[in-house]
Chains A and B, each alone.
Chain A
Amino acid sequence: MNNPASITHCTLGELMIYQIARSIEDGILAFHGFGSPLVQLALHLAKHSHAPRLILVAGATYGVNPKPAFLTPTTNDFAMNRAAECQLSIEELFDLAASGHLGRMFLSGLQIDCWGNMNVTGLGQYDRFSLKLPGGGGGCNLSADASHITIWTAAHRTPLDGQGRRRYRLVKQCDFTTSVGHRTTDGMPRSTMPYRGKGPDCIVTDLGVFGFNADGHAELQQVYPDTFAELVAEHTEFDVPVSANLVTATLPDTEIVEFIRRLDPLKIHERELSQADRRRYFALNGSH
């Protein structure tokens, strides 16, 4: 199964990992947080393929350029830090970000709005949340400090509840702003803030890939072989502008798929996906 020659399909998870990896530039310093296996795999994939000079800082351990034994179910594990070239501390990584040296960071949210603001703190009123979420780690700081942000979520598709409503992931407004995007909830543009970073430039989801237009508003740029713009709009609470150059996303090649499967034998990354999405496959190179 793990011989590239015998690989005929990629999974949705592998496609998302590949799309996240494509957002990573060679030669930058990039950091993955914890609880984000899709991103962890994307960083290792990028370094293995198009970005060999990437300075890869592992979340939670702060090891630089580690060669993980395998992807572990929790992030702060020696297996993830194996053979790290050198070691940073929590303060050193965040200082690097604050001084403008963190090229890219990866953030997600239970709510993501059209400007790239996100909520991982709680639903409802901030003084009495109806649902307390785990919290954002360093996301608030890094959303301001990192040069660029890749946003991802594997839960864009939201089922209808008994009353025919959806609890959207891509929302009109976040209940709480944990990390900042291109415009504050009271309408202030990002440029009025003394942030070093330029904010999010893409959102990779289970339905497609967004960019951000000149106003800082999310815009659909890519769909997947089994999705289309109307489906994306149906599962998005805000109005979705569609790029004039909407394309179907490029699929990873078999070597890339093999690399991901070798690094994640426990399929930890599938825990980010819904049960149904774990069964989505795409044929590679015209094979069926």
Chain B
Amino acid sequence: MHIQDDKRCSLSELVAHIRNGDCVAIGGGLSWREPIAALRESIRQGVNALKLVGSAHGIDVDLLCGAGCVAVSAQSYVGFEQDFGMAPNYRRACEAGSVTIKDSCCYTLVQQLRAASQGLPFMPMRSVQGSDFMKLHPEFKTMLCPFTGDKLVLVPALQPDVAILHVQYADPHGNLHIDGPPVADILFAKASAKVIATVEKIISHEELVQFGVTIPYFYVTAIAEVPYGAHPTACYPFYAYDREHTARYYQAAKQGANSFADQYLKPFVYECWDHVDYLAAIGGAEQLSRLAQWQNSTEDWLKLYE
């Protein structure tokens, strides 16, 4: 239980909770509410040998793979969907063998997190047997159900060392409010040993309860106020997905490891002293206000994706 009165800290202090070799659950999903500022800071701090677990992910996992921070990947999906297709850094790392592939499946992950949050050693399920996920996961067992005789698959409890989230609002005590789909963030928070969160805006407790508490404070280890902390993924209602920047990322990554290091990691991670530098590097206030235009009209929203 995390009971400090005030959980606020700087981004670098927040990320210092991640240790080399940790099992890390990254919040959000696909192009939505990924804690990318925290991931950029962890790359700058040299965190490595991470084991990543999660459901459907994209630029977050690809970025960490491109920076050489990942030892094991256990997501259900890592890619850029129909927008750009396969994740180049992730693919290279998996195919080179520098990242061990432990692909999972959404409900398998849910059941494993539930087991951890309920203090149980495993959860049963009907699916997965008959698929080749049994080969990737020799730790999965089967048993005959003592009640029905059905053959069930048992998946072990999964307790990530740290969950990294990005949310819209928090109070200083660490109560979190997530607007829109929480994806697996609540499950991650309940199952993980530590929860660290970047927050668009830290507000008073009285203001936060007006929005509602999505994740209670005692699950949360530390929070840092990092406006635009999910960029280039979306954090509605503040900003939409930055497709233009993601295209730039993708083109750099697609050309190879060296071009990704030169054209992306250098200008947007290593040569940015902090998040303020990063926001300037991506185009500053002009670019950021463009991403807020979605609220004006459907036409303005469409323009972001043309």
Residues of A within 8 A of B (CB): 34-37, 60-63, 69-70, 72-79, 81, 87, 89-91, 94, 97-98, 121-122, 126, 128-145, 176-180, 184, 188, 190, 193-196, 265-266, 268, 271-272
Contacts and interface: CB of A to CB of B under 8 A. Distances in A.
A135 B75 contact: yes
B97 interface: yes
Contacts of A188: 130
A135 B103 contact: yes
B130 A74 contact: no
A147 to B, nearest CB: 13
B247 to A, nearest CB: 10
A195 B76 contact: no
Interface in B222-237: 234, 236-237
Contact of A177 (B55, B131, B237): B131
A35 B180 contact: no
Given A61-B181, A122-B101, A140 B127 contact: yes
A87 B181 CA distance: 8
28 contacts: A34-B77, A35-B82, A60-B29, A72-B305, A73-B81, A75-B81, A76-B29, A76-B56, A77-B234, A78-B237, A126-B132, A126-B135, A129-B101, A132-B91, A135-B77, A136-B76, A137-B56, A137-B77, A142-B107, A143-B131, A144-B127, A178-B132, A179-B131, A194-B150, A195-B126, A196-B126, A268-B82, A272-B82
A153 B139 CA distance: 33
B193 interface: no
B97 A128 contact: yes
Interface in B118-136: 125-133, 135-136
Interface of B: 29-32, 55-56, 58, 75-83, 86-87, 90-91, 94-95, 97, 101, 103, 105-108, 110, 114, 125-133, 135-136, 150-152, 180-184, 186-187, 234, 236-237, 240-241, 243, 294, 298, 301-302, 305-306
Nearest to B78: A134
Contact of B125 (A73, A98, A136, A190): A98
Given A76-B29, A77-B234, A178-B131, A94 B55 contact: no
A62 B126 CA distance: 22
A136 B77 contact: yes
A140 B95 contact: no
Contacts of A266: 302, 305-306
Contacts of B187: 90-91
A155 B286 CA distance: 40
A-side interface mostly? loop
A90 B106 contact: yes
B110 A91 contact: yes
Chain B interface, DSSP helix/strand/loop, else mixed? mixed
A177 B241 CA distance: 33
Given A90-B55, A141-B106, A184-B130, A81 B180 contact: yes
A136 B181 CA distance: 20
Contacts of A178: 131-133
A140 B55 contact: no
Nearest to A146: B127
Contacts of A76: 29-32, 56, 181, 183, 234
A179 B77 CA distance: 14
Contacts of A122: 94, 101
A196 B126 CA distance: 8
B31 A70 contact: no
Contacts of A131: 91, 95
A82 B127 CA distance: 32
A186 B128 CA distance: 15
B127 A137 contact: no
Contacts of B75: 135
A132 B125 contact: no
Nearest to B306: A266
B130 A91 contact: no
B130 A134 contact: no
Given A79-B301, A136-B105, A177-B130, A90 B90 contact: no
> What 8 pairs across the A-B complex have the smallest Cβ distances?
A134-B79, A138-B106, A144-B127, A35-B81, A141-B107, A76-B32, A132-B94, A74-B31
B241 A77 contact: yes
Contacts of A74: 30-32, 58, 80-81, 83, 241
A13 B94 CA distance: 33
B196 to A, nearest CB: 21
Contact of A195 (B86, B106, B127, B184): B127
A11 to B, nearest CB: 16
Contacts of A195: 126-127, 130
Given A74-B32, A129-B101, 19 more contacts: A60-B56, A60-B183, A61-B181, A75-B81, A76-B31, A77-B31, A79-B294, A94-B110, A98-B127, A137-B77, A141-B106, A141-B107, A144-B126, A145-B107, A177-B131, A178-B132, A265-B302, A266-B302, A271-B83
